[in-house]
Structure 1
Amino acid sequence: MPPFTLRQLEYFRAVAETGTFSGAATRMFVSQSAIASAIGDLESALGVQLCTRKRSSGIGLTPSGVQFLEKARALLRQADDVTHAAHHGDGLLAGAINIGCYATLAATVLPALLDEFSAQHPQSQLNFVDGTMEELMPLLEQGRLDFVITYRISLQLGLQQMALYDTAVHALLPANHPLAHAPTVSLHDLADDPLILLNIPPSGRHTLDMLASANIRPLVRHTTTNFELARSLVGRGLGYCLLVQKPEIDLTYEGLPVVAKPISPEFSREQVVLVWPDGMELSARARICAEFARATLGRAQPPR
């Protein structure tokens, strides 16, 4: 038998993710002394120091602790799968699945996934966090997210990927733009127009790099991290915007019309992917949800 318990592993994971005994105690609904005692017993059983304890900076992990945390998370996921299989041998899928989603994708990806997956698996509980990749990656690495849905643009190393669907950058123009009725637009035809830059990392940098590769130095008039604000500024005629995500409705929040135009020659074809850390197996629930996303999300996207 292993010299530790699953409860000790849960407490250790909570300490690693919160950075303090008090934070772990709050998360696990136990006393701080119970957390400290469990970690001490775990270190004694393993014969290694897992944590560094400093009043000024809280709890840190030793190199052994960092390595053990990855193994502990894997064991806890496997234990969760075993428990789920024992309790739901009837084939029903139950329990929580925690999803991260890149901010500009969230409005068109998450509603369909949450609604349709929950309808098929009513005992499951889908939770989500939307944000930039800088915000989502630490949560994924800490095991607080099962997977993240994002673009393949500038993904860091150490991630497994599942392709969901392909998409392409388009130009968003005000309805009264001279090219509004053209079947396609060239970026060089827009080079003298002001650009509304949607700058949610890494998309802003990617847009500027792609324009530079086409020998275009854009006239950036406004920069925003708000997808709908970018569309509204275009609707007001303040510039054009280069976007990947294409809503069903060609109206801004103010009710002003905008038009999405394919770029010719094609500017940048992107792929929406589902990612999780290398060396980590998705839980049975997360794997079923990921496969469901791959089978259904592409169909839910508006035609291009």
Structure 2
Amino acid sequence: MSADPVTWKLTLPCTKAEAEAVAAYDGEIDAVLITTEVDEAAGEWRLDAYFEGEPDAATLGQVRELAASGGWSTAMPEPLSDEDWVAISQQGLEPIREGRFVVHTSAHPGDAPDGGRAFLIDAGQAFGTGHHGTTSGCLAMLDRLAVEGERFANVIDLGTGTGLLAFAARHLWPEARVAATDIDPIAIDVTRENMAFNDVDQVALVVADGTRDPAIAQSAPYDLVIANILAGPLIAMAPEVAAIAAPGATIVLAGLLTNQAEKVVDAYAAQGASVRARNVRGDWTILCLTAAAERRSVGTDGSGRGDWAIDA
């Protein structure tokens, strides 16, 4: 007798605007949310929500609010077997190539070019397979920095997800000290597993809310700060990112929609940072900033973090 399914799926129609809002959503819904374009000409999109266990009415209501244009669809969640979930998570994840990097899943192997590096990152419980425009754009930005001859000695990847960007930094600057942090302990567990899969070593792993951990402060300042999160948290974290950045450090920011970019730029400009480069990928923008010539200070308890609100 087979075990009961643990993953449930709810599919709702939505608009492009709602899909963009879902991508920028930073609320607390106990679900994995994935949006897909169904018909470009008609502007039709789809929201798929995956739940660990059968969702309750309150959680379903939260998800339905994100796709309210569909007239509060009466579609109900359905259980998936473990095999169905693995198959869904791997669908369409062909290897991606960014500069010297290839990122692939177990189902779709890929080889790195000469002098490059391939990373096996399976879809799972943490964000960052490389297939999302923000993650692949960060890979391209890091590769560009290396091509331009940049050298870094102390690197931190805030909100590391799967660890991919920290691994890329480790490859590009093998003499550097590299740390990867995430607020979610599961993400750090996933990163640790991915380190083993990919024979990556000497990446320090820290569970932390932003930069608020003594280990992060003690290892500062960092000459390369990477944060692929969301626009709102990036804005709120601007003072503390500035506080751990070395004078003139490079800061790579992603997870923001293109129409949110100027608000993020303004938040970091207030900390003395300036824009060095942008990588626009459709609705998403990756920013490369240069930190202020002098370090800013902020309490290690995150007392420099402000409240934030941002319109998509």
TM-score (norm 1): 0.29
Q: Radius of gyration: which is bigger?
A: 1
Structure that is richer in strand per residue = 2
Larger relative contact order (C-alpha < 8 A, sep ≥ 6)? 1
Structure that is richer in helix per residue = 1
TM-score (norm 2): 0.29
